[in-house]
Structure 1
Amino acid sequence: MSVRVRRIYESPEPADGVRVLVDRLWPRGLSKEVAHVDEWPKGLTPSDELRRWFHAGGSYEEFVHRYEAELAAPEAAELLDGLRKSVHEGPVTLLTASKTPAESHATVLARLLTD
């Protein structure tokens, strides 16, 4: 099981496997052809309210707690289970436009996919 997190602005690599965009909004200045995104499950992204709260200065620890609660909702849980199946079939790369992927929702997703 291989899950990694990368910025979407980095060039695709053969080791990426299935490339999954985990941001609610399409990244600025990037065409779909260049991005090489295989899946874009918007239901796994943080809600607009949570995203705004976090970017307004919310703590990362509280963000993780609130985001995990959102992922427990039926629609998100179903999408998460589907993505787990992809992980068992081969490498999955979670793509985000975040400038700090290590402190983003993508890292939370990666952890949940490998637990």
Structure 2
Amino acid sequence: MNPIRIKRIYEEEEPADGRRILVDRIWPRGVSKDKAAVDEWLKEIGPSHELRKWFGHKRENYEEFKDRYMKEVLESEERSRLLRQIRSWAEEGTVTLLYAAKDRECNQAVVLAELLSSL
């Protein structure tokens, strides 16, 4: 499997990004679909509305968010299928997980990349 890249959607598209996959449940503010250059928007794999609200992008909540989100992904047949699809794409070439959060270290794309590396 190729390494999984992680990038904010607000950063410029680069050829090295490969397949660009948005993993946010909600479309990011201020980004047109053309400018985003998203190949896939897998909103279903994003954290549930309840988990996203609870987390609130507070670093002190991150470890518990990570555990809860991994559980959401692994216990959902649909999300697990999407995770396997991302892994399949990563076996074919470079994959970049896109997210909108300001925190580059504590967000769902980081959690997904960790899950993908453990499959």
**Smaller-chain TM-score bracket:** over 0.9
**Percent identity (aligned):** 51
> How far 1:2 moved relative to its partner?
1.8
SS in 2 for 1:98: coil
**RMSD, matched Cα:** 1.2
* Aligned mates of 2:116, 2:19 — CA distance in 1: 14
The aligned runs of 1:6-85 (5 Å cut-off) are: 6-55=7-56, 57=58, 59-72=61-74, 73-85=76-88
- Summarize deviations over 1:24-82 as a string: whole Å, max 9, x none: 11111111110000001111100000000000756111001100110011110011111
The question of whether the paired residues in 2 share the 8 Å contact of 1:21 and 1:96 is answered with: yes
* Aligned mates of 2:88, 2:28 — CA distance in 1: 26
Unaligned runs of 5+ in 2: none
With structure 2 as the length reference, what TM-score do the two structures score?
0.92
1:5 lines up with 2:36 in the alignment: no
The question of whether the paired residues in 2 share the 8 Å contact of 1:87 and 1:113 is answered with: no
Select between 33-42 and 56-65 the one with higher mean Cα deviation: 56-65
SS in 2 for 1:5: strand
With structure 1 as the length reference, what TM-score do the two structures score?
0.95
* Aligned mates of 2:89, 2:115 — CA distance in 1: 13
> How far 1:101 moved relative to its partner?
2.3
* Aligned mates of 1:56, 1:7 — CA distance in 2: 15
The question of whether the paired residues in 2 share the 8 Å contact of 1:23 and 1:45 is answered with: yes
Count the aligned residue pairs: 115
